[in-house]
């Protein structure tokens, strides 16, 4: 830059760049090899001091900017690290220098916070530049030709890692943390949203990161640390969690676990599917498109009452009155003021999908499977305890649990076909103990507390992650019920039993669903998903037949007897002494009681707020997957037919939405799988609606408004709900 308009104090720049120059360099005399300067170690330490004492203390970022401009990372640090050969690990000076390089790399790649309260003028000046520079760092680190940089970095920390946890010094712990933070930073750096990265995206994409991590043995490191956490490592848990989060956020699990051949097929299928969708859109347009040129100039009159006329131009109005009305509507210009949705696309965003290439998919899948087998329980158990001790950032914790639980479920499902063939070895059916650490009572307590806290403090993203976590736990429990292992079944039954009678959880789920306002689509998706599965699973539980309950009681009794026979002291339980007949009557009573309980519970979702949330969700129908559409369909079906409060859906905007979904313009694709069930449902609703209007003319007015429950009840049944019992 020219000296006059420099953004950095020239003196600072002079000092820093002289240090960078003194560090070393390559020249023709040494065949282009990099040669260290005489006092390289001291230079590195000086640079570190500059970063610390000038940038950090004065909160300026000037030195970081100078270092970015002088290409310290690509030109010097990486060269120095690359020149540390594997067989020279014992060389003390070289390992010291390597460590000093790492100590510089960590602050340089540290995520730049954009907390508006702490930002100074300097931050605003430097942050955009530094963000791009960090992308460059990442690119050169993971794609470095001469050596495996990340691997070298790990080597820096190997000696301290070899020491027993009790014997490590603070410095040793610090080095291990430094290394993990370095890896975290590399995993975290990504092009900021709404900035176009000028270089090759593929070089810094998630796929490239995963490939590099696999090639440079970072995955091994992560597995080692996470599987022995609590024994060999203690304070490193949160960093590991962060690394995992930035590796897997947004990755589609279904795609991850498809094998390669199926993946190829599914790609072809996807292309076909997308082409079909596009064709459907075009067809939709063409049925409504004008059949003559655009200056044909047709004009229609719409005769209104009181001898009024409305004119509509274009042919649409001539052929079809409803299209004419749509055209009349479309020409209006007025827009009511509206607030924008709160979307978050920062580094913590996990709703944006990420695509991986074949290679990276394979590597990541291998890693995930190994992690589930060895590292999941220790790591998450350890972190849960840490969170219980002191509340800290829990977003990625819950998100990771939900992600890994889903991964585990998908993995099991994909394994099944081969299992059936070799049913002889059914002994080998593995239990759910691999993920047991997140299914215990303590976890539920933590999760409930987190949901309460985040809901109260309006941190919607955290709440969304917690809801995802809860959903996945429910789904896992449901899978466990079908497990062939008795222990798994018993655990699952116990969990369901507890959830079923926990009123506070019911209230919370219903409340969250009811109060959706403008938290963005990701949140909407997780809260509708949670309430869908919650309702569904509890309904199944309430319907659980008498048979099953008798069987489970019999099981318990058998166990108790066995325990008694073994001479153990068992507290006298009523179950042991009952006969089969008593079992049946008792089971019948419980199942009856449960049905009633469920009905009461499901009624909480009848409020207008819940319906509105699902209506907002359904309004995205053209972008929803079929599973999401199914979710909305089941909810409305439940409201209208299972609980017989279709009145809640009789509002003009809801009816208009349903009508549009089927009849267009821009409706659902008639060839799609969900079209049929929606068509059926909408038809039923419309039929009910017109019949109701004829039955109760008051509904014509009430259709404009949200109804409170008593009004809705009157409209539905024709009499007021009896709330006060007369004596």
Decide whether 260 or 666 has the Cβ nearer to another protein: 666
Nearest-approach distance from CB 531 to another protein, in angstroms: 23
Nearest-approach distance from CB 279 to another protein, in angstroms: 24
Residues 6+ apart with CB under 8 A from 653: 615
Token pair 């590195």 is at which residue?
44
- The candidate with the shortest Cα–Cα distance to 496, out of 440, 537, 454, is 537
Decide whether 486 or 720 has the Cβ nearer to another protein: 720
Question: In degrees rounded to 5, what are phi and psi of residue 181?
Answer: -65, -35
Decide whether 393 or 683 has the Cβ nearer to another protein: 683
Alpha-carbon distance of 196 to 357, in angstroms, equals 21
Residues 6+ apart with CB under 8 A from 544: 591, 594
Decide whether 176 or 689 has the Cβ nearer to another protein: 689
Give residue 170's Cα distance to chain centre. 36
By three-state DSSP, how is residue 355 classified? coil
Nearest-approach distance from CB 632 to another protein, in angstroms: 18
Nearest-approach distance from CB 614 to another protein, in angstroms: 16
By three-state DSSP, how is residue 654 classified? helix
Contact 344, 400 (CB under 8 A): no
In the complex, which residues of this chain contact another protein (CB under 8 A)? 304, 310, 321-322, 325, 328-330, 332-336, 651-653, 655-656, 659, 662-663, 682-683, 686-687, 689-691, 693-694, 696-698, 700-706, 711, 714, 719-720
- The candidate with the shortest Cα–Cα distance to 382, out of 271, 490, 225, 196, is 225
Residues 6+ apart with CB under 8 A from 314: 290, 298, 327
Nearest-approach distance from CB 634 to another protein, in angstroms: 21
For residue 292, what is the DSSP state? S
Contact 542, 595 (CB under 8 A): yes
Residues 6+ apart with CB under 8 A from 543: 591, 595
Decide whether 342 or 683 has the Cβ nearer to another protein: 683
Decide whether 357 or 706 has the Cβ nearer to another protein: 706
Nearest-approach distance from CB 617 to another protein, in angstroms: 17
Residues 6+ apart with CB under 8 A from 142: 149, 150, 186, 203, 204, 208, 209, 212
Decide whether 98 or 640 has the Cβ nearer to another protein: 640
Longest dimension (CA), the chain: 107
- The candidate with the shortest Cα–Cα distance to 236, out of 161, 315, 151, is 161
Alpha-carbon distance of 169 to 180, in angstroms, equals 17
Decide whether 31 or 329 has the Cβ nearer to another protein: 329
Give residue 445's Cα distance to chain centre. 21
Decide whether 445 or 700 has the Cβ nearer to another protein: 700
Nearest-approach distance from CB 670 to another protein, in angstroms: 13
Nearest-approach distance from CB 299 to another protein, in angstroms: 18
Nearest-approach distance from CB 283 to another protein, in angstroms: 19
Nearest-approach distance from CB 656 to another protein, in angstroms: 6
Nearest-approach distance from CB 332 to another protein, in angstroms: 5
Token pair 């938290």 is at which residue?
519
By three-state DSSP, how is residue 371 classified? helix
Classify strands 34-36 and 309-313 as parallel, antiparallel or unpaired: unpaired
Decide whether 368 or 682 has the Cβ nearer to another protein: 682
Decide whether 469 or 615 has the Cβ nearer to another protein: 615
């Amino acid at each position: 830059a020219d000296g006059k308009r420099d953004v950095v104090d020239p003196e600072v720049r002079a000092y820093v760049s002289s240090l960078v120059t003194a560090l070393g360099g390559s020249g023709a005399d040494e065949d282009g090899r990099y040669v260290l300067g005489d006092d390289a170690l001291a230079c590195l330490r000086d640079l570190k001091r500059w970063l610390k004492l000038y940038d950090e203390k004065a909160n300026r970022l000037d030195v970081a900017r100078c270092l970015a401009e002088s290409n310290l990372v690509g030109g010097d640090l990486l060269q120095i690290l690359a020149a540390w050969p594997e067989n020279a690990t014992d060389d003390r000076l070289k390992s010291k220098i390597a460590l000093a390089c790492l100590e510089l790399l960590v602050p340089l790649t540290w995520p730049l916070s954009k907390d508006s309260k702490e930002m100074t003028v300097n931050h605003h000046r430097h942050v955009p530049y530094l963000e791009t520079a960090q992308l460059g760092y990442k690119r050169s680190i993971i794609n470095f030709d001469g050596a495996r940089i990340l691997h070298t970095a790990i080597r820096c920390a190997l000696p301290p890692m070899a020491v027993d946890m009790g014997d490590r010094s603070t410095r040793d712990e610090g080095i291990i943390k430094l290394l993990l933070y370095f890896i975290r930073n590399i995993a975290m750096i990504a092009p900021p949203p709404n900035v176009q990265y000028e270089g090759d995206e593929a070089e810094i994409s998630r796929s490239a990161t995963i490939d590099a991590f696999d090639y440079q043995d970072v995955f091994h490191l992560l597995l080692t640390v996470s599987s022995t956490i609590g024994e060999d490592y203690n304070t490193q848990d949160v960093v590991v969690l962060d690394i995992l989060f930035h590796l897997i956020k947004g990755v589609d699990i279904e795609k991850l676990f498809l094998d390669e051949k199926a993946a190829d097929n599914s790609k072809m299928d996807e292309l076909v599917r997308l082409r079909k969708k596009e064709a459907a859109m075009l067809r939709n347009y063409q049925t409504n498109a004008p059949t003559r040129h655009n200056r044909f100039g047709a004009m229609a009159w719409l005769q209104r009452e009181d001898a009024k006329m409305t004119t509509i131009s274009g042919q649409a109005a001539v052929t079809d009155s409803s299209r004419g009305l749509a055209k009349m509507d479309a020409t209006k210009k007025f827009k009511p003021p509206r607030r924008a949705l709160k979307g978050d696309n920062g580094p913590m965003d996990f709703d944006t999908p990420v695509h991986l290439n074949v290679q990276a998919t394979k590597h990541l899948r291998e890693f995930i499977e190994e992690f589930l087998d060895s590292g999941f329980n220790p790591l998450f158990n350890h972190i849960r305890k840490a969170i219980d001790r002191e509340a800290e950032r829990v977003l990625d914790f819950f998100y990771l649990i939900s992600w890994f639980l889903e991964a585990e479920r998908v993995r099991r499902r994909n394994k099944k076909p081969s299992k059936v063939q070799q049913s002889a070895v059914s002994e080998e059916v593995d239990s759910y103990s691999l993920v047991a650490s997140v299914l215990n009572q303590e976890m539920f307590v933590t999760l409930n507390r987190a949901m309460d806290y985040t809901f109260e403090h309006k941190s919607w993203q955290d709440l969304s992650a917690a809801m995802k976590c809860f959903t996945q736990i429910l789904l896992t429990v449901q899978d466990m019920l079908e497990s062939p292992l008795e222990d798994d079944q018993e655990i699952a039954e116990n969990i369901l039993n507890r959830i079923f009678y926990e009123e506070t959880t019911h209230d919370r789920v219903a409340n969250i669903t009811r109060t959706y306002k403008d938290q963005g689509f990701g949140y909407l998706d997780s809260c509708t998903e949670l309430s869908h599965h919650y309702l569904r699973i509890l309904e199944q539980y309430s319907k659980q037949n008498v048979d099953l309950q008798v069987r489970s009681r019999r099981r318990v009794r058998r166990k108790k007897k066995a325990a008694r026979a073994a001479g153990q002291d068992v507290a006298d339980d009523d179950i042991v002494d009952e006969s089969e007949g008593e079992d049946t009557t008792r089971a019948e009573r419980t199942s009856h009681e449960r049905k009633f309980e469920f009905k009461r519970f499901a009624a909480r979702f009848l409020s207008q707020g819940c319906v509105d949330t699902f209506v907002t969700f359904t309004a995205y129908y053209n972008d929803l997957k079929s599973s999401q559409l199914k979710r909305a369909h089941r909810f409305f079906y439940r409201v209208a037919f299972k609980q017989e409060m279709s009145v809640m859906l009789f509002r003009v905007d809801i009816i208009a939405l349903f009508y549009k979904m089927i009849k267009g313009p821009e409706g659902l694709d008639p060839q799609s799988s969900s079209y049929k069930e929606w068509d059926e449902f909408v038809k039923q609703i419309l039929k009910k609606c017109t019949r109701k209007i004829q039955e109760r003319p008051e509904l014509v007015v009430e259709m404009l408004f949200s109804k409170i429950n008593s009004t809705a009840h009157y409209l539905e049944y024709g009499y007021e709900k009896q709330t006060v019992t007369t004596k």
